[in-house]
Each structure stands twice: as C-alpha cells, then as structure tokens.
Amino acid sequence: ELCRGKAGSIDGGFDIRLRSGEDKDFTLRLHAAGYRLLSLPSPAAIHWGYEKDFGEWVRKEFWRQSSHGALLAKGGFGKLRLLRFPLVAVGHWVADILAIMALLAGAPALALACLALSLLPSLLITFRHPLNRSLAVLPRMWFMHWLRFHIGGVAVVTGLMGLAERRART
C-alpha cells in the first residue's frame, strides 16, 4: 500500500502497463482516494533533452498519446479530464473528412466551416500560453498544436483498435 487518503488508499504507484499517461492515471486515482491535488504555478523540472528532428517529434507525440485507449478502458469514459483530448483529437479528423466531403459535394461554405472546426482548438491552445503571443511564433505553434491533435487522433484510434484486438484474443 503506497499511501492512504480520506476516502481510500492507492496501491502500486504508477501503472507500469501504460506506455504513457501513467502520471495522469496516478493523479486521478489519488483524487478518487480523497487526496487534494495541488498545482504549482512554476514547477521546477529538469528535461533531459528534446527531439532531434521532426520525425522524432512525430514518433514521440504518437507514443505520448498512445495510452489514451488504455486510460479510457480503465474506467475513464466517464471522466471529462480523460475524454477531452481524445475527443478533440478524433474530432479533428472528423472535421477534416467532413470538409473534404463538403468540397467534393460542391459546398465550399460548409467545407470552410468544417475546416474552422479543425483549426479552432489548436488556436485556442496556442493563445492560452503567454509565450505563444509573439506574431513570429504564433503560426508555428498553431501548426504544431494542430498537427499534434491529428497525430493524437491516429494514436487514440489505433490504441483503441489494439485494445479491442487484445480483448478479442483473450
């Protein structure tokens, strides 16, 4: 037993079955056990390196988002905190597909509206961080967030498909 809260206990610390997202899973379990979670406005953290190129960034981003299916399968379908990113990420692909279908159907206004739905969440996230308010940085950060949502959408769907395949085999 790792620690005791008002409402229960947390066993085992990080869930080693998760490829990523184990910290999110752990904090959700702490909260469910009755612990109060605090957020530091300026946490001190050491980052041991950054991606060397764009390909490495794409692979790491796919890896980071690949555990959403496993987190949701652990009972996260009722938790907005866990559903938010997967829904927005998959929603990007849905909006893009609808935009393409609208263009093919000869409805450019509808295609533009669907494209705006795909671009809006990444724009909002870009403006949320004060460092991204520079006009020079803003377009690049907007694109990176937009791309991150698309990579995340693929990771979420493939993660859920892999989870379904593993369950079908057992």
The confidence score (pLDDT) of residue 6 equals 46
d(CA 45, CA 71): 25
Least confident interval from 30-34, 41-45, 135-139 = 41-45
Name every residue whose Cβ is closer than 8 Å to that of residue 41 and which is 6 or more positions away in sequence.
none
Whether pLDDT at 132 is above 90? no
* pLDDT tens readout for residues 68-105: 777 777 766 667 777 888 888 989 999 999 999 999 99
Write down the pTM of the prediction.
0.71
